[in-house]
Structure 1
Amino acid sequence: MKPIRVLVVDGSPTTCAVFKTELERDPGIIVVGTASTPLAARAAIIALDPDVLTLDIRRPGKGGLSFLEKLMRLRPMPVIAVASEIAGGRNARSVQALALGAYDIFLKPEDGSRAHAYDPLRARVRGASKMRVLLRDGPATPAPAPDFVPDGRIVAVGASTGGVDALITLLSDFPENCPPTVVTQHMPEAFTASFASRLDAHCAAAVQEATNGAPLEPGRIYLAPGGSHHLEVMGRERRVCRLREGPTVNGHRPSVDVLFHSIAKLDAPALGVILTGMGDDGARGLAAMREAGARTLGQDEESSLVYGMPRVAHEMGAVEKQLPLSRMTRAVLEQCNAVSTSARVA
C-alpha cells in the first residue's frame, strides 16, 4: 500500500520539523515537503501533489484562511487545519476553517512532548486521506418560507465531517418561525459556542447551544455542545433539551444516535435528517425514528463531502429519501409546513 503523502504548511520551521517527525512515526505516512508561505504552498502542491495538507490557520503570513478558501474553491483537497491549543479552540477562525471545507481541526499541543500528543494528528491524516473532496456546491434552491406555518413537528439533524458547511447551507434558509430544530454535529467542546454564534449570524431563526431544560420552541435551533454530554429531547407535553453525561457512543460525544433514539421514543411528529460524515453514527437512531413513524431524509453521495453516515443509514433502510444538499431545506420545510396540502418529500 502506498504511503499517505503529506504537505505541511506552517510559518514556523520548528513546527514543520516537529510535524514531519511526529507524522512519520506512522510508517504509512510520509511528509513530502513543507512550505512557509502561501506562494510556496501553491508551488509545492503543484510539484508534489500531496494526498493531505496540514495548514496552520494563523500562519503563514496570517493568511491561512484566505489560502484555504482559494484552495478549496480552485483545487479542493483534504486539509487538516491546525490551531493553537490555547487560543485556537476559542477562536472563530477554527469554525470558519471547517465551514470553508477543512476536513478537521488539530489543536497543536501546548506541551508537544507529552505521550501520544500527536496521535490525533496521525489519525486525522489517515481519515482525511480516504475522503473524496468535491468542488463547492452552487447556491441552494430558495426555500418556500413566506407561507410557512410550523405544524408541531420536531426536526433533528445529525452531521460530522463536512457538516459545518452543510449545516450553514441547510439552516440559513430556514424562516424565522422554523420548526424547533435540534442538531448534533461532531465537534470538540472548544468549537461549538463559536459555531452556534456563526450559525446564528447566518440564520433568520435564533441559534444557541443547547442547555439542560431549554424548551423546544418554533423559531429556535439548538446545537449540541461538545464535551462530556449527549443531547437528548425529553418530555411528553412540554418537550425540552436534556444534556446527559455518559460515555462515547460510536466513538462520539455528543452522538447523533443518542439524539435520534431519544426522539424516536417521544411518540411525537418528527423529521430526521442525516448529513455528510464519516462512520455510521446516527444510522441506527434514524432507523428507530422511521420505525416510530417519523419522516427521514439523507444527503446524497454527490453532495456529501464524506458519504459515510448517510450511506450506512440509506443501506439499512433508515432513509426515506436521499436528496442533494441544495434541495434539503425545501424538503424539510415542506414536510413541516402546516399549510401544505400533502406530505411530499421532493
Structure 2
Amino acid sequence: MNKIKVLVVDDSAVMRKTLTDILNGSSKIEVVGTALDPYIAVNKIKQLNPDVLTLDIEMPRMDGLTFLRKLMLANPMPVIMVSAFTDKGALQTIQALEYGAVDFILKPRSDDSAEWDRFASELREKVITAASIQSDRFTARSREKAIEVEEKFSADVILPKTVSKVRTTHSDVIIALGASTGGTEVIAKILGSLHENVPAIAIVQHMPEKFTEAFANRVNNNSKLYVKEAQNGDRLYRGTALIAPGNRHMLVRSDASGYYVEINDGPPVNRHKPSVDVLFRSVAQNVSKSVGILCTGMGADGAEGLGEILQAGGMTIAQDEVSSVVFGMPREAIKRGAAQKVMNIEQMIAYINSL
C-alpha cells in the first residue's frame, strides 16, 4: 500500500519539523517535503506531487489565503489549514474553507503533552481522510471561490441596513442539522438559499469556539435568515438559524411559549463537543414536529440521534454520497436505517423551502 504523500508549508522551522515528525509517526503517511513559504511550495508541488498539503495562514511574502486561492485555480488538491486560536485566525480559517480547504486543525496553545498528543492524533486522522477525498468533490467549488480574488463588500460594512432580521414568530417545526468535515460549505449554501420564513434550524457543525461565531456571522451576511451563534435561552423562531457554539453542546427544549436552546458544558460525546447526537436526541425527546438532517463528515456522530428522531416520528434525511466531501456520517445513518430520504444539497434546499 502506497503511503500518503504530504507537503508541509509553514514559515516556522520548529513547526515544520514538529508536523513532519508527527505525520511520519503514522505508517500510512510520509512527509515528502517542506516549504517555508508559498513560492517554495509551488516548486515542491511540481516536483513531489503530494497527495495532501498542510498550510499555515500567517507566512511572509504571500499569506496562506492568497496562496490557497491561486493553488485552487492552478492545481486543486486537498489542503488542511493549520490555524491559530485567535479571532483573526478563526475568520481566516472560515475564508480558507470557502476557498477550497477541506479541513483545518488548531495549533496547541500550550506545551501540555496531552494536548499535543490529541493534536498529533487529530492531524494524522485529518490527513488520512483528506487523502481519500476525490478531487471532483472540491475542485468545482474551489475554482468558483478562488476566482473571486477580492472579497466583495456591500454598503452594509459602512452603514448597516435598518431593517432587522430578528424574528418573533414561533416555529412549530424544528429542523436539526448536523455536519463535520466539509459541512461549512454545505451549511452556507443551504442557509444562503432559503426564504426568510422557513422553520427554525438548530445546527451543530464540528468546530472550535471562536470559529463558530465567525462562521455564523459570515453566513448571516449572505442569508435571508437570522443566523447567529447560539446563546443559552435563545428562542427558535421561524426564519432563525442557531449554530451551536464551539466547545459546548446545544439542546432543544420547550416551554409554554415554544422552543428554545440550552447550552451545555458536559463532556465530549463521540469525541465531539458540540455533538450532533446530543442535539438530535434533544429534538427527538422535546419536539413534536421535527426534521433531522445529517450532512457530510467523518465518523458516526449523529447517526444514532437521527434514528431517534425517526423513532419519535420526525422526518430524517441524509446527504447523498456524490455531494458529500466525506460520506462517513451520512453513510453510517443510512446503514442503520435511520434516514428516510437521501438527498443532495439542492434537494434539501427545496424540501426546507416547502415547509
* Pairwise TM-score range, normalised by the shorter structure: 0.7 to 0.9
C-alpha separation in 2, matches of 1:49 and 1:105: 21
Kindly indicate whether the alpha-carbon contact (under 8 Å) linking 1:22 and 1:118 is maintained by their aligned counterparts in 2. no
The counterpart of 2:330, out of the listed 307, 310, 320, is 310
For residue 188 of structure 2, give the secondary structure of its aligned residue in structure 1. Answer: helix
> 1:232 corresponds to which residue?
251
> 2:148 corresponds to which residue?
none
Q: 1:98 to 1:112 in 2, by over 3 A?
A: farther
> 2:80 corresponds to which residue?
80
The answer to which of 259-268 and 183-192 deviates more is 259-268
Q: CA RMSD in A?
A: 2.5
Q: 1:136 to 1:235 in 2, by over 3 A?
A: same
1:181 Cα offset (Å)? 0.8
The answer to which of 97-106 and 314-323 deviates more is 97-106
C-alpha separation in 2, matches of 1:188 and 1:272: 23
> 2:119 corresponds to which residue?
120
For residue 286 of structure 2, give the secondary structure of its aligned residue in structure 1. Answer: coil
1:70 Cα offset (Å)? 3.7
Kindly indicate whether the alpha-carbon contact (under 8 Å) linking 2:171 and 2:236 is maintained by their aligned counterparts in 1. no
C-alpha separation in 2, matches of 1:152 and 1:197: 25
C-alpha separation in 2, matches of 1:309 and 1:72: 26
Which structure: greater helix fraction? 2
1:104 Cα offset (Å)? 2.7
Q: Deviations over 1:187-211 (max 9, x none)?
A: 1113111111111111111111111
For residue 16 of structure 2, give the secondary structure of its aligned residue in structure 1. Answer: helix
1:27 Cα offset (Å)? 4.4
Q: Residues 1-346 of structure 1 correspond to what in structure 2 (within 5 A)?
A: 1-86=1-86, 89=89, 91-111=90-110, 114=113, 117=116, 119-130=118-129, 131-133=132-134, 134=137, 135-137=139-141, 152-227=172-247, 229-237=248-256, 238-334=258-354, 336=355
Q: Which runs of 5+ in 1 are unaligned?
A: 140-148, 337-346
Q: Deviations over 1:314-346 (max 9, x none)?
A: 121211211222332112212x1xxxxxxxxxx
C-alpha separation in 2, matches of 1:105 and 1:59: 16
The answer to which of 244-253 and 12-21 deviates more is 12-21
The TM-score normalised by the length of structure 1 is 0.85
Amino acid across the alignment from 2:279? L
> 1:145 corresponds to which residue?
none
Q: Deviations over 1:263-305 (max 9, x none)?
A: 1112411111111000111111111111222112211101100
Number of residue equivalences = 324
Q: Which runs of 5+ in 2 are unaligned?
A: 145-168
C-alpha separation in 1, matches of 2:170 and 2:45: 49
Percent of aligned pairs with the same amino acid: 40
1:161 Cα offset (Å)? 0.4
The answer to which of 261-270 and 130-139 deviates more is 130-139
